[in-house]
Amino acid sequence: MFSHGSPNRDRSARGVPKPDDVSRDRISHFSKGVIHMTATVEHSDLLSADLLIGGKFRQTSTGGAYDHINPSTGLSQASVPLAGTAEVDEAVTAAREAFRTWRKWDPVKRRRTLTKLADLMRAHADELHTVQALESGIPISMAGVLVENSLNWTDYAASAADKLSGEVVPSTPGEIFDYTLVEPVGVVGVIIPWNGPVGSLGMCALPPLAAGCCVIIKPSELAPFSASLFGKLCQEAGIPPGVVSVLPGGAEAGQALVGHPGVDMISFTGGTATSRAIATKCAEMGKRCVLELGGKSADLVFSDADVTKAAQEALGWLLVTNGQACTLASRFIVHTDIYDQYVETLAGLMQGLKVGDAIDPNTGMGPVINARAVERILGMVDRAQQQGATLLTGGTRLDLPGYMIAPTLFGDVDNSSELAQDEVFGPVLSALRFEDEDQAVEMANASQYGLAGYIHTNDLSRALRVAAALETGNVGINGGVAPAAANAPFGGVKQSGLGRLGGIGGILEYTTIKNVQIRL
């Protein structure tokens, strides 16, 4: 058994092992085929959070301004104009006007225009990598995973734009001809979070655009720059003014968008608690919504699993967004026979991580988003120890600039405790023991969330049996990744969401079906 990391609850770096280099091959399965950062981009040029309304960019707004802090340095780096209700009104007016023509565009022309957007995003991948690192602290070494993911979704949505066919409905020959039309739902408010903002743009803004809808994107004030850059690329691609608006802002702008009668549908990605008010308002107004929410995903590691590979994959998840991913596997439910070996391997990998500035290409894991997140995460760490969990490594803030938390692993976590039940949204993982398959499934399903589930086993029958038994929207077996692909459905059950992104079904979410009957 390995020796436990220092359970030092002092939030200074004293007693914390200095992280050193993480071996690249340990995470190589995550970065295979991904675009890598090649060029140096002038950072200050990227820190513009202009609003985009009716095809025009502006730096002023009525919702105040937000002093944007780089999470890697803790230093102010830009002032973000926040959209107020006046800008939401203007964007809705522009979108409604644009919808009159955008909905009638030849779908082939729409496909070509969105393909041009995908090409421009690919050409500007370096900027997208960099801006994401600066705004949300996602390491430049991993940012390519999310940019590549976004590009895949953009390619897919673009290619689907001219393939949304209706059908001929069987009816009495010679008397009735009956068919359906697939029509865009209208103006869609796209509210996205700060973690993985470039990925969210591809996953959430492109499907409604492909369906012929206009989108008003409201990025979080914590990560507004990539959305502004995306707006610029949309204009350059030839998407008509008003079809895409970008309104950096906080809750006020989000609420105004949800409550606006000119917005037909909401696509919301964010916290489960925030979603409740949004779903309630949408229900009151008879508005459709797609909700992509939080998770507390379990990874079931069976005794026949490849322990090293399973632990490397756990680490890979942790790295993608510094422990701040909705689909992050954060509850490791491990067979008791291999539990010690597993936690030792995982803790060793975590201790080898180089934590630091997201913009440094040698950084393995970056910061959490802000000082409030540090307090919240360390509070959960303290309470986990009070509730009897064993701190195996980490548990402290690192003595580095910015908001760096040591990669943290707890063992012997009680499945009903706060740590096992609530989203930490930071680099804090839990390990739990199980003895048989039924117990493992029961433990995994004992959660309000149902976003993703992971399984590690070499027994195919067991893998398929457990995949069917997990109460989640997505399952990854032996390294399967959720969200896997733009052409696959993605979304949650229980408190993790409503509706699906991905695949043709994810584009049809933004359409209505009209039936037309002709008496001959």
- Residues in contact with ligand NAD by CB under 6 A are 191-195, 218, 220, 250-251, 254-255, 258, 269-271, 274, 277-278, 292-295, 326, 423, 425, 451, 492, 497
Measured from the CB atom, the residue of 240 and 271 that comes closer to ligand NAD is 271
* String of DSSP letters for 215-240: EEEE-BTTS-HHHHHHHHHHHHHTPP
User: Min. distance of Cβ 466 from ligand NAD in angstroms?
Assistant: 22
Q: Distance between terminal CA atoms of the chain?
A: 80
Question: What is the spatial distance between Cα 433 and Cα 439, in angstroms, rounded to a whole number?
Answer: 10
Q: How many CA atoms lie within 13 A of 415 on its CB side?
A: 18
Could you say which of 292, 313, 423, 509 is catalytic?
292
Beta strands in 46-157 (DSSP E): 51-53, 56-58, 65-70, 75-81
User: Min. distance of Cβ 269 from ligand NAD in angstroms?
Assistant: 5
Nearest to 157 by CA among 56, 52, 267: 267
Question: What is the spatial distance between Cα 405 and Cα 329, in angstroms, rounded to a whole number?
Answer: 18
Do 475 and 295 contact (CB within 8 A), yes or no?
A: no
Do 269 and 171 contact (CB within 8 A), yes or no?
A: no
The question of whether 292 is a catalytic residue gets the answer: yes
Measured from the CB atom, the residue of 5 and 426 that comes closer to ligand NAD is 426
Measured from the CB atom, the residue of 152 and 195 that comes closer to ligand NAD is 195
Measured from the CB atom, the residue of 317 and 342 that comes closer to ligand NAD is 317
> Which residue has its beta carbon closest to ligand NAD?
254
Beta bridge partners of 168: 179
Cβ neighbour number for residue 320 with a 10 Å cutoff: 26
User: Min. distance of Cβ 23 from ligand NAD in angstroms?
Assistant: 28
Question: What is the spatial distance between Cα 331 and Cα 352, in angstroms, rounded to a whole number?
Answer: 21
Measured from the CB atom, the residue of 224 and 411 that comes closer to ligand NAD is 224
Cβ neighbour number for residue 104 with a 10 Å cutoff: 8
| Residues annotated as catalytic (active site), given as ranges | 292
